[in-house]
Structure 1
Amino acid sequence: MKKTILTLSILIMSVIMLHAQQNLDFSGAQGIISPQVNDNNTVTFKLDAPKAAEVFLQGDWMPAEGWVPGKVAMKKDEKGIWTYTSESLKSDLFMYNYIVDGLKITDPNNVYQIRDIANMFSIFITNGDQSSAYKVADVPHGTVSRTWYDSPGLKATRRLTVYTPPGYERSKESYPVLYLLHGVGGDEEAWISLGRTAQILDNLIAAGKAKPMLVVMTNGHTSNAAAPGESSKGLYKPIMMTPDVGSGNMESTFQDVVDFVEKTYRVKKNKADRAIAGLSMGGSHTLFISANLNNTFDYVGLFSAAYRLNRPDAKQVPAVYENYEKNLEKQRDNGYKLYWIGMGKTDFLYQSGVDFRKLLDDKKVKYTYRESEGGHTWSNWRLYLSEFVPLLFK
Structure 2
Amino acid sequence: MKRHFLWTFLSIFLIGIQANAQESLFGAQQITSPEIHDNSTVTFRFAAPNAKSVQITGDFLPAEKMDTPMGQMDGPGKADLVKDDKGIWSFTSTPLSPELYSYSFIVDGLKVTDPNNPFLIRDVASVTNVFLVGEGQAALYRVKDVPHGTVARRWYDSPGLGMDRRLTIYTPPGYEKSNEQFPVLYLLHGAGGDEEAWIALGRTAQIMDNLIAQGKAKPMIVVMPNGNVIQDAAPGEGNEGMYKPQFMVPKTMDGTYEANFMDIVKFVESNYQVKADKAHRAIAGLSMGGYHTMHISRYYPNMFDYIGLFSAAIMPREDATGKVYNDIDGTLKTQMDNGYKLYWIGIGKTDFLYDANKEYRAKLDSMGMPYKYVESEGGHIWRNWRVYLTQFVPQLFN
TM-score range, shorter chain: over 0.9
2:285 pairs, out of 263, 278, 287, with: 278
Q: Hey, what's the Cα distance between the residues in 2 that align with 1:131 and 1:22? A: 36
- Which position in structure 1 is the counterpart of 2:256? 249
5+ residue gaps, structure 1: none
Give the corresponding residue for 2:45: 46
SS at match of 2:134: coil
Match of 2:166 among 142, 159, 170: 159
Which residue number in structure 1 is paired with residue 216 of structure 2?
209
88, 91, 96: which one aligns with 2:95: 88
Question: What is the CA distance between 1:124 and its match in structure 2?
Answer: 0.3
| Runs of 4+ with deviation above 3 angstroms | 7-15
Deviates more, 1:151-160 or 1:376-385: 151-160
Matched letter for residue 93 of structure 2: S
Quote the RMSD (CA, aligned, Å): 2.0
Match for 1:265 among 262, 268, 272? 272
Pick aligned residue for 1:341 from 325, 340, 345: 345
Q: Amino acid of the residue matched to residue 257 of structure 1?
A: I
Query: Using the alignment, how far apart are the partners of 2:290 and 2:108 within structure 1?
Result: 39
Output the CA distance in 2 between the equivalents of 1:134 and 1:339.
Answer: 25
Query: Can you list the C-alpha shifts for 1:205-242, whole angstroms capped at 9, x where unaligned?
Result: 00110000000001011011110011111111110110
Q: Which structure 2 residue ranges, 5 or more long, are not aligned? A: 67-72
How far, CA to CA, are the matches of 1:256 and 1:291 in structure 2? 17
* Residue 24 of structure 2 corresponds to residue 24 of structure 1: yes
User: Which secondary structure does the structure 1 equivalent of 2:227 belong to?
Assistant: coil
Corresponding residue SS for 1:355: helix
TM-score normalised to the size of structure 2? 0.93
1:218 matched to 2:225? The reply is yes
1:106 aligns with 2:81: no
Partner of 2:69: none
For residues 49 and 264 of structure 1, what CA distance do their matches in structure 2 show? 53
1:180 maps onto 2:187 in alignment? yes
Encode CA deviations 1:8-54: one digit per residue, 9 max, x unaligned: 88984685246524751525x63311111112221110111111111
Secondary structure of the corresponding residue to residue 354 of structure 1: helix
SS in 1 for 2:152: strand
Structure 1 CA distance for aligned equivalents of residues 272 and 18 of structure 2: 50
Aligned to 2:65: 65
In structure 2, the residue matched to 1:306 is 313
Q: Distance in 1 between matches of 2:8 and 2:391?
A: 64
Cα distance in 1 for residues equivalent to 2:175 and 2:367: 40
TM superposition score normalised by structure 1: 0.94
Within 2, Cα distance between the matches of 1:224 and 1:89? Answer: 38
Deviation at 1:129, TM superposition (A): 0.8
* Corresponding residue of 1:320: 324
The letter of the residue matching 2:164 is T
Distance (whole Å) between structure 1 residues aligned to residue 17 and residue 203 of structure 2? 38
**Is the contact between residue 246 and residue 311 of structure 1 (CA under 8 Å) also seen in structure 2?**
no
What is the percent sequence identity of the aligned residues? 55
1:79 aligns with 2:86: yes
C-alpha change, 1:157 and 1:166, in structure 2 (3 Å) is same
Aligned with 2:359: secondary structure? helix
One-letter code aligned to 2:146: V
Per the alignment, do residues 8 and 300 of structure 1 end up closer, same or farther by CA in structure 2, a change over 3 Å counting? Answer: closer
Q: CA deviation at 1:328?
A: 0.5
Is the 8 Å Cα contact of residues 246 and 308 (structure 1) preserved in structure 2?
no
Matched, 1:35 2:42: no
